[in-house]
Amino acid sequence: MVLGRTVDVIETQFLSGGDINTAAQVFSSEGVFFIKWNQFEHTENQSMFETEALGLDLLRQTNAFRIPQVIGYGKHGDKAYLILEYIEPGKPSKTYWETLGQQLATLHAHSQPEFGLHFNNFIGSLPQTNTQTANGYDFFFNHRLLPQAGLAFYKGLLSKSTYDALFRLYKRFPELLPDERPALLHGDLWSGNVLVNEDSNPVLIDPAVYYGFREAELAFTRLFAGFDEYFYEAYDESFPLQEGFNERVAIYNLYPLLVHVNLFGSGYVSGVERVLKQF
């Protein structure tokens, strides 16, 4: 009914790779689609697919990347679903990493007056608040680090001394981090969220979009590796980074580390503690 007419399903092939949702490639009388669904137990998570669709549409409007077309989203019975264009996989071209770097620089060139976004969304299955804020240091601390640290402290995963150390680091942000304008970010840019399509070009999926520090996005790509050095070189040629970026990577990655603490447990706490001890 999403297409406004009856669609006959010919074949369904379940896909692996997701930690949160069930996903499948669906062959139908109207073409091939990618569908994912979930039976959300918490009311706050029921808007996850809607905000993902809004994020994909926002990224597509920049014309920086190939982004899967949103076919529709909604609820069927007790399950929420998202239907997307299916991206036929391909192999990277010889210039794939350079293209990815250049396209990310193009995306980051899109800006707005304030950090944040006009709607909230999710990072993984965790709510991500995007309250629009004039000051980037305040946004990064109050709407990225503090909510995740507070949740981890509440769950008993983070010690009081570690929690308090974040506030001391916050006071040092103006001397440690460059004061750049807000950049449109994918928001969850690890290697698993970048596909290669049939034309050998990058495709971005599963966004957690907002306007933030562009260095935070690049830092996250280094957390779990998977990105070639040609990617970073091409980005820097297109949109040069301020001197000392490599020394700042660990500070930005406090956010994804805290997210991983809350999603996957105490194994990531030592990484948070190392960064705070360093700075």
| pLDDT tens-place string over residues 87-141 | 999 999 999 999 999 999 999 999 999 999 999 999 999 999 999 999 999 999 9
Whether 185 contacts 216, CB under 8 Å: yes
Digit-coded pLDDT (tens) for 190-201? 999 999 999 999
- DSSP 3-state assignment of 85? strand
Residue 141 and residue 251: Cα distance in Å, rounded?
11
CATH of 9-85 among 3.50.50.60, 3.30.200.20, 3.20.20.80, 3.40.30.10: 3.30.200.20
Digit-coded pLDDT (tens) for 211-232? 999 999 999 999 998 999 999 9
pTM: 0.93
Which of 11-25, 70-84, 250-264 holds the top average pLDDT?
250-264
Where in the chain are all domains bearing CATH 3.30.200.20?
9-85
Overall average pLDDT of the 143-155 stretch = 98
pLDDT computed for residue 43 by the predictor: 52
Residue 94 and residue 230: Cα distance in Å, rounded?
11
Q: Which of 188, 199, 206, 236 is catalytic?
A: 188
CATH architecture of the domain 96-278 equals: Alpha-Beta Complex (3.90)
Reported confidence tier of residue 44, pLDDT bands at 50, 70, 90: low
Where in the chain are all domains bearing CATH 3.90.1200.10?
96-278
Q: What is the mean pLDDT of the chain?
A: 92
Active site residue 188: yes
